[in-house]
Amino acid sequence: MKPEYDFTQGRRGAVEPVAPGKTRITIRLDDDVLAWFRDRVNQQGGGNYQTLINNALRQHITAEREPLEDTLRRVLREELNQMEKS
């Protein structure tokens, strides 16, 4: 190491602090799944694939919690809107 490098005031750890309500984890994803999210970000003109993954997981959780009656109403509304537009 070059003598002009001085790390005596350096600190270990992440350069950026984790935002409140977020937890840094390590996760293993299939290559094709990760590629899909990265491609999606590129198609949208930029952004963060991790945010897309988080949003997809959140949508899944919401759908799992949604009562069947609410799900049916939502799907019917969407279908009727599509029919009206056609």
Residue 7 resides in a domain:
no
Q: Is residue 45 part of a domain?
A: yes
User: Within a domain: residue 49?
Assistant: yes
Pick the closest to residue 41 from 51, 31, 32, 56 (CA basis): 51
Residues 34 and 50 sit within 8 Å (Cβ to Cβ): no
Q: Which residue segment(s) compose the domain that 74 sits in? A: 31-85
Q: Is residue 5 situated within a structural domain?
A: no
Residues 9-32 pLDDT 10s: 888 876 778 889 988 889 999 999
Tell whether pTM > 0.75: no
Q: Summarize pLDDT for 44-66 with one digit per residue, the tens.
A: 999 999 999 999 999 999 888 88
Residue 76 lies in a domain: yes
| Average pLDDT of the residues in 71-81 | 92
Question: 66 in a domain, yes or no?
Answer: yes
Instruction: Domain count for the chain, please give it.
Output: 1
